Every structure is written in structure tokens, then in C-alpha cells.
Amino acid sequence: MKHILFIIGSLRKESFNRQLAHEAEKLLAGVAEVTYLDYTDVPFINQDIEHPAPAAVVRIRETVAQADGIWIFTPEYNFSYPGHLKNLLDWLSRPVVPNDYATPTVINGKKVTLSGAGGQMATGKCREKLTELLTFIKADVMAAPQTGVTLNAEAWSEGRMILTDAQRTALKEQAEAFVKFLG
Ligand SMILES: Cc1cc2nc3c(=O)[nH]c(=O)nc-3n(C[C@H](O)[C@H](O)[C@H](O)COP(=O)(O)O)c2cc1C
């Protein structure tokens, strides 16, 4: 069974994007093994502390290396991706051995798919910019399908996201397409 690493682009406990990930996890039951990346202890990237890599960075690199694919569920912050997600990807994009740019990084060639829950744009701008970033650091992004959820008034007031049938179908189609994409 393939192993898919889920990365949530929100640090919020009741995050809608975490809720979306839990829905996707249910859809993958019996099809793929799912684990979640905890990166809350990863420091801000700073070349003064890059080598030797901090323990949290060593751990996330190992976790990413072991995954067959990555599914990112992220909110959109000001028409882009959240800073802590960029920080995580910056660490993953760097050589493990100082100045060794010949050995592929752990994100190089890694298959990635994107989803997000947010406002009117359904995180479209964020996913567009994230695709550009991931492509630059040589990840293999599945261009389509992606799932973008525009949160309804009830979600904003109750803090609980309930997917429509169409949104659940989109998520299911994305899950199936990604498992195929993993080969
Ligand atoms: C700094 C910041 C910027 C935001 N900018 C956007 C935005 O550009 N587009 C959008 O749809 N929502 C934006 N939001 C609202 C988020 O979509 C909303 O807070 C959402 O619940 C965050 O996802 P989460 O529930 O997974 O934490 C922004 C929120 C924050 C904190």
C-alpha cells in the first residue's frame, strides 16, 4: 500500500484544512496509508543553523523521504501560502551536505497534490503560487484535479466544515487520481 504524507498548512487546532484532510483520510482508507507531518517544532530557516541540521529538520526530512507522496491541505494567506509552509518547504529544498547541489534533495521528484479550504477564491491563488514554488524546488506536482473549498457561512460561524456532495466527490476524485499518479 502506498504511503501518503499529509501536510496541513494551518497551525490552528480546529483548522478547516485539517478537517478537510480528515475527510480525505477517510476516503483513502484501505487504499493508502496516511500519516500527518508535525512540523510545529521546525525553526525559522537561518543559514547560521543550517549545518548540522536541527533535530526537527532531520526528522521532517526523513519523514518526507519515506513517503511515496505528499498531500498538502492549506489555507490561503493574503493571496498566497502561509509563511510557516514556505519555511518548511525552504528547509526541504536545501542540500543535506553543505554546498552539495548534485545530490537530489528530499523534495526532488516527490509527488505532491494540493487542496485547500478558504474564502471566495477557494484557495486558488495559494495553490497556483504553491505549484510555482514546488515546481521550482523540483517536486512533481499533480496539476489536476485539485480540491478547493469555499467555506460557507455556517462553517465560519460554527467552526465546523460540512462538505457538500460535490465537494466530497471532488475530494474522492482527487484521492483516486493521486493514488494512480503515485503508480
Ligand atoms: C493572515 C491571514 C490572511 C488571510 N488571507 C486570506 C486570503 O487571501 N484568502 C482567503 O480565502 N482567506 C484568507 N484568510 C482567511 C482564512 O481562509 C481562514 O482564516 C481559514 O479559516 C484558515 O484556514 P484554517 O481554518 O485551516 O486555519 C486569511 C487568514 C489569515 C490569518
Q: What string of pLDDT tens digits covers the 183 residues of the chain?
A: 999 999 999 999 999 999 999 999 999 999 999 999 999 999 999 999 999 999 999 999 999 999 999 999 999 999 999 999 999 999 999 999 999 999 999 999 999 999 999 999 999 999 999 999 999 999 999 999 999 999 999 999 999 999 999 999 999 999 999 999 999
Return the domain boundaries, the chain.
2-182
Burial of 171 (0-12, 13-18, 19+ CB in 10 A): buried
User: Cα(49) to centroid of ligand 1, in Å?
Assistant: 30
123 touches 74 (CB < 8 A): yes
pLDDT value at residue 170: 98
Give, using CA atoms, the residue closest to atom 17 of ligand 1.
Answer: 118
Which residues are registered as beta bridge partners of 35?
5
Q: Which residues contact 165 (CB under 8 A, 6 or more apart)?
A: none
User: Cα(34) to centroid of ligand 1, in Å?
Assistant: 25
Alpha helix stretches (DSSP H) within 6-141: 16-28, 55-66, 83-92, 124-136
User: Cα(75) to centroid of ligand 1, in Å?
Assistant: 6
Q: What pTM did the predictor assign?
A: 0.98
C-alpha angle 141-79-90 in degrees, rounded to nearest 5? 50
Tell me the CATH number for domain 2-182: 3.40.50.360
Give, using CA atoms, the residue closest to atom 14 of ligand 1.
Answer: 77
Report the pocket of ligand 1 as residue ranges, CB < 6 Å. Answer: 10, 12, 15-17, 75-79, 118-119, 121
User: Cα(172) to centroid of ligand 1, in Å?
Assistant: 24
